[in-house]
Amino acid sequence: MHLRNNGPSEQWAFGILTSHRPGMVMSMYALLRNKPSPTQQQIENCLIGNYCRCTGYRPIIDGFYEFSSASPCALGENCCKNQGSAANAASSKAIAASNTVGELSPDYLQDYIFPPGLKVKDYCSEEKCYKGERVTWYQPVSVARLLELKSQFLKAKVVCAQGVGNNLNAPLQDSVIISTSNIQELSGIQEVTADGLLIGSATTISQFWNILSDMVEQLPESQSALYKSILTDVKPRFACRQVINVASLVGNLLIPVGQSDLTPVCVAAGAVFSLRSVNKSRKLLVTDKLFPADRKSFLADDEVVEGLFFPHSAQGEFIRFYKQGDRKSVTNSIVNAAYRVQFTDSKVSAMNIVYGGLPFGMAKAFPQTSQSLIGREWNEKLLEEGVASLTAELNSATSDLKSPDSLTSYQKTLVTSLFYKFYSDVAEKLSTGKFPEVGQYTAIKGKQLYDDSPVATSSEVSAASHCFKPVPHRSADLHVTGEATYVDDMPPYADELHMAVVYSEVAHAKIVSIDTSEAINALGVRGYVSAEDVPGSNVCGLIGEERVFYNEKVESVGQILGGIVADTLQHAQIAAGLVKVEYEKLPAILTIKDAISAKSFFNPQPMMLWKGKDMAEAFSGVDMVMEGEMEIGGQEHFYMEPQVTRCVPKENGEIDVFSSTQSPKFMQDGVGKALGIPFSKTNINVKRLGGGFGGKSRKPMLSGVPAAVAANKFRVPVRCTLERKEDMVVTGGRDPALIKYKVGYNKDGRIKTLDAEIYTDAGCTLDLAICIVQKAMYHLENCYSIENMRVRGWACKTNHPSNTACRGLAAPHAVLVIENILEEVSVKLNIPRHVIQQLNFCREGHTTVYGQVVSNCTLERCYNQVVSDSDFVNRQQAVKQFNLNNKWRKRGIELTPIMYGIAFDTLLLNQATSLVHIYVDGSVLITHGGTEMGQGIHTKLIQLASNSLGISIDKVHLQDVSTVTVPNSTVTAASVNTDINGGAVLNACKKLNKRLEVFKQKMPNASWEEWVTSAYVERVSLSAQGFYSTPGLVPIDWSTSKGSPYQYYVFGAAVSEVEIDCLTGHHQVLRTDVVVDAGVSINPAIDIGQIEGAFIQGYGLYCLEELQFDESGVMTTVGPATYKIPLVDNIPREFNVSLLKNSSNPGNVASSKGVGEAPLPLAVSIFMAIKSAVRSARKASGKDESFTFSSPCTPERIRMSCADQFIATA
């Protein structure tokens, strides 16, 4: 891609970089090919549908905004572009000096040749037919031939796009598929009449949008109301660009699964299908009866849809569409609605009310209510009676459902709430001649500020070096161009096989039998591996509670029973689906509360921390006592690269394992024990990961060890790549939690006593459950000084998939709870929450509940800076005024501080080893145990090494992580790996500098290369091993509740402002300001990228991402269609991040701090701002301002908490 000034490459160098980046690039490339000067809104829209939670999206959108003439610069008038040619030259030189990653310097006035193979071709005049193993694909070029094929193959599936859209890894029910994408007669406008518009059935949705835009320009406003409504109401939230460019309009309406937002529109508008077969043609009015819940097709077996007719609007006709989903865009509707009303002589003369998303089918009309409103004037009485009629008609329809509970209270509420929206919009139109503005687009913007002249440095690092500079990520260009190699990119060996796992589909059961006979005989299958094929130990896990293959009993869905090995991944997956397992079901525990009732814990006796007085005595001495509990949901890691392992058997029992793992050591332990070979014969190699977030610490063993067993059995390389659904089902995620609390406080707002019980859902095996609970216990007091505390913790054993580490473990849960407690206290005392926060701040010398004394406390500096930077006080007043002026839209603005401990809670993990080689040409090679998963550890360590050795970073290269070069490495996690691996690298460099010092003294004017050559000639070793162990750590003594488990703390604060729609539960983050103390940042650009990515992941945890299971324990949110992470249009419209100035962290590597996890809980500021907005809505409705508000605060929870009159009718 032609990148003007390398903008995106430079921007992305500062974030977390993972395997999906080419998707962003190609989306932008397509936009630029069609619109060389796009608007900022077009740029943002083209990126929707590309996932990049890990970067926080901001650096990507900033980079791409450079292609817009309206590109904003955070420096405003001080932008280098406004400072003249000299400043521009200096700026370019500075960028070039820091960007030493690549050697490309293209002429930016010369565009690259567009690849001819990617050009859109004219319609082919020749029919195509492709025969595969399971299906025959026909691509006719005429309607006549299409009809002939359909009459010949009555059960054939007719598709309009280039693919069928379903999972092709499952056996297809259709042996013949007919594509209409090459039939020109079916594409575009077929006819325009005085009455309406006939559109061909193969017209893509993007073509449909363009057609409607033309019609809006050509027709009078009275005739184009329908088309304009579709463009303004449906299009912005319909689907991502990648989908609408290939999906057809009619295909979307007839989709066999899911739902179409266009269906209610077509029903309300009175659209008409044109149907045709070989012998006849007919017209069919689009009604809700065509779309029943069972999805039975209204088409005859030999019939196809030829076109879809849309009637022009009539004078006095208004039509609007509304949608509410789990997320702003690229989401299925929870409820959508299309309303059409026509007025004659100021009274309703026609009315259509149609809803989608309800369990009645793809569309549900409400004819009784529609009819009852005809002849009425548009006033409050019509609204009142319309709501009552809708409710009655909905209740009547619900009673006919097989499962009335399938219609939720939230959906019922939306039915009436959306009707009120329509009523209000039409009233506005009748009054002013215009519908209300839906909101003007504002480009995403933000500032990223850091201290470019740090005052505090380590004695080992010079401020004049590449350290403390925003050096781009070493792999930035490779990520942007798609050249970065991941495990699944590795070319296969000639005899390489693929493995697909067979996993349990029952939450708790005995295994009666496993029948593989049909699977073994499937095409391409080499064999099946199970517990019988494990030559070593089938027992694994921290305490032996897990199995490589389960063969007697399963305790959750997703536990691996075996694996099918075949010549291709697709053959393996198809065969895996043919394995038949018979179970004897057992009772299952599926909630934390059920586990508490059953006393199902991994630690029957609770872990306990305490300080201060006995609880009874402490509570007797406070003014007020409050009790409550809070549920916090789990979180899927949703790394872009799924779990993948490639195992290559070697001679003498050796095996090479190429894995996407954060812990080579964990994988080595698992493979070595399962194969019964010494660890020295097990080489684990890690190039890079496409994201990890803790999910690739222990979980890669679940598929990697079985792959090693298969490679050992068949003596050929075996690759195992989990599909997204498999990955989510098998590997678990962040533990959900239930935290109960009792709080004692005084009337002035001081929190005196806290007694808490923490319960986490660890799932079916131990994994890291104890550490996860402990992390929550350590961080429950956050940055506050609470005199008396008792915190008890239990890891609950349930029959969910085993959960595991996820960025921050359960500390984000604990921070949310303590901030919620302060919020509840502020409401009860009518004291602003930020006043309560400051009153209870911990300060220098504070002793935590686990006995550690806090030093180098910069909490108040971070807090005061973010208050100032965000203009918090003035904006608070503006929010209050906004809420007074608006009934159905409310805003909230809240501030959240953080104190986050840095170190592994398990002492033995706080160590690292490195190996540094100097070659005779002067180049340097580093190896260490930290894995690169986009967080920039390799870049930072290269900066440290180049500075220590006094050479350019161009001379330093970093090799893949391997257990051959660095044994017993610590898992890359806990935000400490730059600390410990950097310390190990500096230790090795120190040894090498000492050896070279004699030659520097002999030849002070010589070059680096000459010193190295001289040392080699004198037979001085140019290779050194480095080692580092974190000093000063004292493990918790649980008998005394005393210890010092952390080397230092990261402090920070964030202010967020949101706006909610009280009628739907939708919210938008308007602005976020973040300040984090990163010490003396080794690479401020990478640290800011880490902060942004962590914050947006925290936003997903608290506000969007919801893991759901059915009543039998099967996860229902598998894949991006049902599990919703933030997209680019979800992030704050203004996103400002600053590193605290004039900070240092004496005693740590380069006086720096690790910031990978600490910023994540700062997203509590968004949760609390949403809760504040909801409270304002409740206050306006006369409801209690104290209310339970669980996480994630989904649209449903927001809407139902507003507690207005429409909820009362549900």
The answer to whether 336 touches 321, Cβ cutoff 8 Å, is yes
Helices and strands (H and E) in the chain: how many = 34, 42
Q: What is the 3-class SS of 478-539, one letter each residue?
A: HHHHCCCCCHHHCCCCCCCEEEEEEECCCCCEEEEEEECHHHHCCCCEEEEECHHHCCCCCE
385 is catalytic: no
Cβ neighbours of residue 34 under 8 Å, at least 6 residues apart?
none
Phi, psi (degrees; rounded to nearest 5) at 176: -130, 130
Alpha carbon 648 to chain centroid distance? 33
**Angle between the 769-779 and 811-829 helix axes, to the nearest 10 degrees?**
30
CA distance 1079 to 1077: 6
Amino acid at 520: I
1121 closest CA partner among 1112, 1136, 1110, 1108: 1108
* Strands 1134-1139 vs 497-503: parallel, antiparallel or unpaired: unpaired
Per-residue tokens: 586: 């057992």
C-alpha distance across the termini of the chain, in Å: 53
Give the number of C-alpha atoms closer than 13 A to the C-alpha of residue 1156, restricted to the C-beta side: 26
CB 723, CB 503: distance < 8 Å: no
DSSP 584-650: EE-----SHHHHHHHT-BSSSSPEEEEESS-HHHHHHTSSEEEEEEEEE--B----SS--EEEEEE-
Report the distance separating Cα 599 and Cα 578, nearest Å: 38
Strand partners, 515: 580
C-alpha distances in Å from residue 843, one per residue of 71, 814, 839, 857, 979: 43, 20, 11, 6, 25
Rounded distance between C-alpha atoms, residue 601 and residue 351, angstroms? 58
Question: Which residue type occupies 351?
Answer: M
Structure-token pair, residue 140? 């006719």
- Dmax (CA) of the chain: 104
**Measured between alpha carbons, how far is 414 from 1202 in angstroms, rounded to an integer?**
13
The residue annotated as part of the active site, out of 757, 1157, 1185, 1196, is: 1157
Q: Is 606 exposed, middle or buried (0-12, 13-18, 19+ CB in 10 A)?
A: middle
Q: Is 86 helix (H, G, I), strand (E, B) or coil?
A: helix
Closest to 354 in 3D by CA, of 364, 342, 368: 364
Question: What 3 state SS string does 298-322 have?
Answer: CCCCCCEEEEEEEECCCCCEEEEEE
Cα–Cα distance, 210 to 231 (Å, whole number): 9
User: Phi/psi zone of residue 1169: left (φ > 0), alpha (ψ -120 to 50 degrees), beta?
Assistant: alpha
**Could you give the strand order of the β-sheet that contains 364-365, starting from the edge strand earlier in sequence?**
317-325, 333-344, 347-356, 364-365
- Contact at 8 Å (CB) between 1124 and 1105? yes
Task: Locate 110 and state its tokens.
Answer: 């010369």
Find how far residue 1113's CA is from the centre of its chain. Answer: 23
Any idea which residues carry the catalytic annotation? 1157
